[in-house]
Structure 1
Amino acid sequence: MQHSRHLSLSSNGQEQVLTIPPDLSLSSTEVLVRKVGDRLIVEPIPRDSLLSLLKTLPELTETWPDIDEGLLPLDNITLS
């Protein structure tokens, strides 16, 4: 079921603020916001999302081995 409401934007310093009424509230405390043309699309990020898990992991610093070392380039491989 799709809901639509006419809402007003307010200002907080240089930011615009949109107060979401209870009947349109989202089940998440974090959202993804993207702009498509003149529209803003707001999507909830579930608490246990893969994105939230990945944000908690430390940055990888390992040096990965060159697994292609010693192999022929793909151009030189022929099937017989």
Structure 2
Amino acid sequence: MRTVSIIENGEGQTIHLPAEMAYDGVDELEILREGDTIVLRPVRPSWLSLVDLPRMDEDFLQEREDVIECVRPDSGA
């Protein structure tokens, strides 16, 4: 466990994450308070974020070959 200072600024408080606790390749963190504990975790895309993606063209996957052949076992009936 490490101890860090809290810096007061006009919009709230700031802390400096030590290098060994840095998030590599993460641009945003979610922040959550659980009692007197603050939890930081990387923002991960959810299914709700699909709404923000551009729509596919009308012919999307029209010429796609089947990757897996649909074969059903003989039921023997």
TM-score by length of 2: 0.56
36, 53, 56: which one pairs with 2:52? 56
Aligned length: 53
User: 2:22 corresponds to which residue?
Assistant: 25
Q: CA deviation at 1:52?
A: 7.9
Tell me the distance in 2 between the aligned counterparts of 1:12 and 1:55: 35
Bigger fraction of residues in helix? 1
CA deviation map 1:36-62 (0-9, x unaligned):
00110001124xx2268347259xxxx
Mapping of residues 8-23 of structure 1, within 5 Å: 8-23=5-20
Provide the rounded CA distance (Å) in 2 between the counterparts of 1:55 and 1:23. 35
Match of 1:39 in 2: 37
Q: Secondary structure at the match of 1:53?
A: helix
Tell me how far apart the structure 2 counterparts of residues 29 and 40 of structure 1 sit (CA, whole Å).
18
Change (3 A) 1:29 1:52: farther
In structure 1, distance between residues paired with 2:16 and 2:51: 27
TM-score by length of 1: 0.54
Structure 1: runs of 5+ lacking an equivalent = 59-80
Residue identity (%):
25
Query: Considering only aligned residues, what root-mean-square deviation do their CA atoms show, in Å?
Result: 2.4
Deviation, 1:12, is 1.3
Structure 1 segments of 4+ aligned residues over 6 angstroms from their partners:
none
